[in-house]
Chains A and B, each alone.
Chain A
Amino acid sequence: MTFLILAVIVLFVLAGIRVMSIAALSAELRNNRKDDIITDAENRNQGNLWVVFLIAFFGFCAWQLYAYGDKILPEAASAHGPAIDNLFYTTLALITVVFILTHIVLVFQAYKHAGKTGKRATYFAHSNKLELIWTVIPAVVLTGLIAYGLTVWNDVIYPGDKQATVIELYSKQFDWTARYAGKDNTLGRSDFRTIGEGNDLGLIEDSKSDDDIIVKGEFHLVKGEPVQFKFRSRDVIHSAYMPHFRAQMNCVPGMETMFEFTPTITTAEMREKLNNPEFNYVLLCNKICGAAHYNMQMDIIVESKEDNLKWLAEQKTWAQTKAAATQTAATNQESTATATLDK
C-alpha cells in the first residue's frame, strides 16, 4: 500500500513538473511547428511505452489480486452459493484469458508496427475466413455460457417444492423488520392503511397474524433448513442484500417479492473459520433509498434447530405484544384517572 501511495505521489510530482514547465513549454510551442508530424523517435517511444504500460497494468492487476484476492467473494454460506461461485469462476477464467490475450496482441501490434519513415503498411482490408472465425468462436462459447448460466439461474430461482419456513423482511427508511409466520407457518395479511402506533407493519387483525413473531436488530435462521423470504416495502424501493448467502431481491412498495435459500454454515462455525469472534452475517440495503441508505442493516444469525426453537420461544407473538401494550395503556389510563381523582 505504502509502495502504491509512493508511486502515486511520484506520478503526481511528474504531473506537477509537467504543469509547472508550461511556461517553458509555451515558449517552445511557438517554435515547435511539427505537431502534425510524429517523428520516428516519438513513434518508437510511444510503441515502447505501450509495452511498459502493459507490464505495469498486469503487475497492478496481479498485485491487487494478491492483496485483495482473499477478501472477494467471502465463503458462500447457502446451499446454492457454490453453484453461483462456480459459474462466476468459470466465467472469470474465460474472460481473464480473453482479457490477457487480446491485450498482449493489441500492445504487441503497437510495439511491433510503430511508424517509421519509408515503411509502408500492408493493404489488408478484409478476410472472410478471419471474420468467420471470430464470429463463430465467440458464438459457440457464449452458447455454452448462456446454457450454463440459465441452468444455475433456474436452480436458484425455482428451488423445488421442499417445504420452506416463511419469513417476511419488511423495509422502510431506514431499517429492517423480520416477521416469522409462527406456528401456522402462514403470515397474517397486511394493509398499509392500518399502519400506526403498535402496528408498524400494517397487519390486519385475525387469527393468522396473532401468532406472528416480529423482531428487529437481528433475525435467526436454521442451518440446513430452507427459508422462503417475502419482501415488502413501506415507502421507497429497497433491496435486501445478503452477500454471504449470494442472495438479493428488491423490496418494492405495492408488491411482494420472494427469494428462497438454505443456509449451510452457522454463525459460530463461520466465526471459527474466519477466526473472528465478532463476525456476523448481515442483511444490507442495496438500492438507494435516502440519506441513511449506507447504514440500513440487520444482523443474521444462523444456528442449529434447537437453538432456533429456544430463541423463538423467547420472542413475543404479535398477540402477546398487543396484550402487553393494551395492559400498559390501561395501567397508564388508570393512573391518570387516579391522579385526576386525587385532585
Chain B
Amino acid sequence: MSAMDSNNTHPEHDVQILPGVHQHEHAHAHAHAHAHAHAHDHDDEHEHHDTFITKYIFTQDHKMIAKQFLMTAIFMAVIAMLMSIVFRLQLAWPGKSFPILEPILGKWAPGGVLNPDFYLALVTIHGTIMVFFVLTGGLSGTFSNLLIPLQIGARDMASGFLNMLSFWFFAASSVIMLFSVTIESGPASGGWTIYPPLSALEQAMPGSGLGMTLWLISMTLFIVSSLLGSLNYIVTIINLRTKGMSMTRLPLTIWAFLVTAILGVLSFPVLFAAALLLIFDRSFGTSFYLSDIYIGGQALEHNGGSPILYEHLFWFLGHPEVYIVLLPALGITSEVIATNARKPIFGYRAMIASILGIAFLSFIVWGHHMFITGMNPFLGSVFVFTTLLIAIPSAVKAFNYITTLWKGNIQFTPGMLFAIGLVSFFITGGVTGLILGDSALDINLHDTYFVVAHFHLVMGSAAIFGMFAGVYHWFPKMFGRVMNKKLGFAHFWLTFAGAYGVFFPMHFLGLAGVPRRYYSNTEFPIFNDLVDINVLVTWFAILAAVSQIIFLFNFFFSVFRGQKSSQNPWKSNTLEWTTPVEHIHGNWPGEIPEVHRWAYDYSKPDREEDFVLQTTPLTEKEIAEGAH
C-alpha cells in the first residue's frame, strides 16, 4: 500500500487487515456503497457480536487496548509510588521504626525498620516499574494506541491481533514483575540497570537468585510487547494515513510516536541480547560478563568476560530509552499547548527536525553513562561531544514551546497546566545534563544524588506530566466524559510543588557527594549536616503521593459520573475530534474524512472560529498564500 492510499479507496484490503471491522454482506443503497462495506451505520448489529470477553478483555479495538494500557499503567504507577514512599521514610528517618510497615512487608521490615536488602529491592523495582511499565508501556501503549488511528484517519491499527498480543504480553510481564516482589528471597535488587556480576551471582545478594530470574523473564515479555506495539505503530503510520494526510500534515503527536517506535524497534532487541547473555551467564555457565571472580569462599570458573560489555549493551538501549520515554510526552505537549494557546505550534518543521535530531543523537551518546567505568578516556571525549550536542535540538523545542504561548489566548485546562509544567521540568532537568554530560564533571558527580535529581526531573517528572496532560486532554475521547477541572487544578499545583520539592534539593545532596542507592547516610560523618534535606524531601514526596488521591478520585469518578463531553470539547483541529463521542469499531460511521490542511490552523486570520478542522478544504486565498 502506498503512503498516500486512503482507506476508503481499498475497502477489501482494509477489511482483511482490520479484524475489528466486519464486512456486511447485505447491500446498501448508498452512493458510496463500497465505503459502507466497513462503515457502521448499524452499530446495534455489532453489539451482539461483542461478548464481554471480546469487548473488554481480548479486544482488538485500539481504543479499548489504549484504556487497558492506561489502567495497567496507573495500577503499576501507584505501586511504584508507594514503594518510593517506603524507602523515602527510611532515608529521612534512618533506623526509625514505622510499625505500619511490619504487617505490610513482613520479614522485610522487622520491628517496622526496613531491611537493607529490601531497601535495594524497592529502589530497583521502583525504577524498573516507572521506567518500563509506566513511562514506556503505559505512555506509548496508551497514547500511541489511542491516537495513531484516530489522528491519521485509520479505522484501527494495521494489525489488531498483534496489538492485542502486545497488551497481553505487557500484562503478563507486569504480573510477573509484581509477583517477583512477593517471593521468599526477594525481587531483583541490583538497581534497575542490573549490572553484572552483582545481578549474575546469587552469592552476591539474595535478590540475584529467583528474583533476578523473574525480572529477566518479565523484561523479555515486556520487550516482546514493546516490539509488537512499535512495529504496529510504524506500519500503521506509514501505510494507513487517510487521503490528504501527508507526513507534513501529521500532528506532532504522531511524529513523536513514530520516532519513538523506531527507537524502540532499534534498541530493545539490544537489551534483549544483553538479557539473554546474562541468562546464559547465570544459568548455563558461560562467561560473557564474568571473569576473575572470587565470591562466597570460592574462585569461580568464569573466565574472559567483561561487565563493561554488559554496560555497553545495556546503555545502547538505555539511552534511547530515555527518549522513548520523553518523546511521546513532548509530542502530547506540542498538541496540548497548541490547542490551548489557540495558536499554531511554533516552528512545526523545526519541531520535526528536532525530534529526528534527538532520535539520531540518542543512539550515539550511550557512553556518557560510562565515563568512569574504565572505558578508554578518548572514547569518553567522543561521547562528551555527541552528548552535549543533544542540547541544541532540545533548546529548539523549549524555545518553540515558549514562543507558541506568546500572544496566545491561553486556556488553562488541567491538561494545559501539565503541559506547561512539562516545559518547566524539561528546562530545569535538561540544563543539568550539560553538567553530567561533561566527563570531567561526571568524575565527581557520577552515581550521586545529582544524577537522581537530573533524571527524575527531565525524564521522570517531565514524562509523567506529559502523561497527565494526555490523560486530561484525551479523557473525553477515551470515556466520552470530561474530568473535573477544579480537582484537576488542585492536582496539578500540588503535584508540581511536590515534584520540585522532592527533586530540586537532591542536587545539593549530590554536590555534597552523597551517593545514590545508600540505605542510609548516617555512616559518614561528612554527611551529618545534610540529614534535614532528606526529611524535607520525604515530606514533599508524601505530599505528592497524597495529591495523587485527588487524581485517582477524579479519574474514576469522571469515568462514570463526569460531565458528558461534546464531540470536540477543546475546539481542536485534529481528526480524532471528528469521530462520534460514543466509541464504534472503525471510528467513523461513514467514510473516513479527507484531510486538506495541517493540524495547527488555530486563530487563523479571516476565519470566524479560532480553529479550523483538518478536514476543512483550503480556500483559494490560502492556496495562493502557499498553504499546504
Query: What residues make up the interface of A, taking CB atoms closer than 8 Å to B?
Result: 1, 4-5, 8, 11-12, 14-15, 18-19, 22, 25-26, 29-30, 32-36, 38, 42-43, 46-47, 49-50, 53, 56-57, 60-61, 64, 68, 71-74, 83-84, 87-88, 91-92, 94-95, 98-99, 102-103, 105-106, 109-110, 113-116, 119-127, 130-131, 134-135, 138-139, 142, 145-146, 149-150, 152-154, 156-158, 172-173, 192-193, 195, 202, 234-237, 239, 241, 243-244, 246-250, 252-255, 257, 278-280, 282, 284-295, 297
Contacts and interface: CB of A to CB of B under 8 A. Distances in A.
Main secondary structure of the interface of A (DSSP, over half): helix
A286 B540 CA distance: 26
B485 A142 contact: no
Interface of B: 116-117, 120, 190-191, 195, 197-198, 201, 204-205, 290-295, 299, 304-308, 341-350, 372-374, 377, 380-381, 384-385, 388-389, 391-392, 395-396, 398-400, 402-403, 405-413, 417, 420, 423-424, 427-428, 431-432, 434-435, 438-441, 443-444, 446-448, 476, 482-487, 489-490, 493-494, 496-497, 500-501, 504-505, 508, 511-513, 515, 517-521, 523-526, 529-530, 532-533, 535-536, 539-540, 542-543, 546-547, 549-550, 553, 557, 561-566, 569-570, 600, 602-605, 610
23 contacts: A33-B563, A46-B417, A53-B493, A57-B500, A60-B501, A91-B438, A95-B431, A102-B399, A110-B420, A115-B342, A115-B408, A120-B409, A121-B341, A125-B345, A125-B347, A149-B439, A150-B384, A241-B513, A254-B291, A282-B526, A290-B204, A291-B116, A294-B518
- Max chain B CB contacts within 10 Å: which of A12, A91, A102, A120? A102
Contact of A255 (B346, B374, B489): B374
Contact of A5 (B116, B201, B381, B539): B539
A113 B337 CA distance: 13
Nearest to B427: A102
Given A36-B569, A134-B399, A248 B561 contact: no
A106 B423 contact: yes
A243 B604 CA distance: 57
Nearest to A232: B292
Residue in A57, A73, A257, A288 whose Cβ sees the most chain B Cβ within 10 Å: A288
A261 B413 CA distance: 55
A192 B299 contact: yes
Contact of B605 (A83, A123, A157): A123
B411 A237 contact: no
B16 to A, nearest CB: 38
Given A53-B493, A288-B517, 8 more contacts: A15-B547, A64-B504, A73-B512, A146-B388, A153-B377, A248-B443, A285-B515, A288-B191
A145 B515 CA distance: 26
Contacts of A297: 523-524
A38 B305 CA distance: 61
Nearest to B382: A150
Contact of A145 (B205, B395, B438, B446): B438
Contact of B508 (A57, A72, A131, A294): A72
Contacts of B605: 123
A234 B295 contact: yes
Nearest to B432: A95
B2 to A, nearest CB: 29
B519 A293 contact: yes
B205 A290 contact: yes
Nearest to A231: B374
Contacts of A280: 525
A122 B602 CA distance: 9
Contacts of A290: 120, 198, 204-205
Contacts of B500: 57, 60
B417 A295 contact: no
B294 A235 contact: yes
A284 B521 CA distance: 11
Contact of B306 (A95, A145, A254): A254
Contacts of B308: 252, 255
A230 to B, nearest CB: 11
A15 B295 contact: no
Given A18-B550, A150-B384, A110 B307 contact: no
A246 B443 contact: yes
